[in-house]
Amino acid sequence: MDDSAVGSRLRQIRMDAGRTQAEFASDLGLAYQTYRSYESGNSEVSASALLALHRKGVNVVWVLTGEGAKLVLDVVELVERSSIALDAALDALDVDFEPDRRAKALGQLVGKEYSTGLPEPAPAVVRLVA
């Protein structure tokens, strides 16, 4: 594992969040010097730091390897966002879907969002929404 590449990805996440190194370290429950050494590539990121990143919605596989999406959405959050977007689109088009058709459309919408790097949704998730 290339610590400098990991540090670069940590910097990207921090900058995306609009946080300073000190603020981001505090957000993760880390000492400033510890976080700074991770971001500069001088130290390997600890398991506890990776867990803290995960709890903030960061894809730790992406942090370590650069593979996949930067952020991981909670399945419930993804379904809620997709449901809101679908309902807004249907309202704008003045379309009234039967519950089964709405659930199928929502399943397709969620599946499309998952294709951006997240695992496929469980079929039960779509049934729960309907």
User: What pLDDT is stored for residue 122 in this prediction?
Assistant: 40
Over range 44-48, report the average pLDDT: 94
- Helices (H), ranges, the chain: 3-16, 21-27, 32-39, 47-55, 60-65, 75-92, 99-114, 123-129
Of the candidates 65, 91, 108, which is a domain's last residue? 65
Mapped onto helix, strand or coil, the DSSP state of residue 41 is coil
Question: Is there a single domain that holds both residue 118 and residue 79?
Answer: yes
Domain interval for residue 17: 3-65
Whole-number Å distance between alpha carbons of 55 and 58: 7
In a domain, 70, yes or no: no
Question: Is there a single domain that holds both residue 12 and residue 54?
Answer: yes
Closest C-alpha among 23, 8, 7 to residue 56: 23
Question: Is there a single domain that holds both residue 42 and residue 85?
Answer: no
pLDDT tens-digit series, residues 2-35:
888 999 999 999 998 889 999 999 999 999 999 9
Query: What's the CATH number where 56 sits?
Result: 1.10.260.40
Question: Is there a single domain that holds both residue 90 and residue 45?
Answer: no
In a domain, 28, yes or no: yes
Question: Is there a single domain that holds both residue 52 and residue 93?
Answer: no
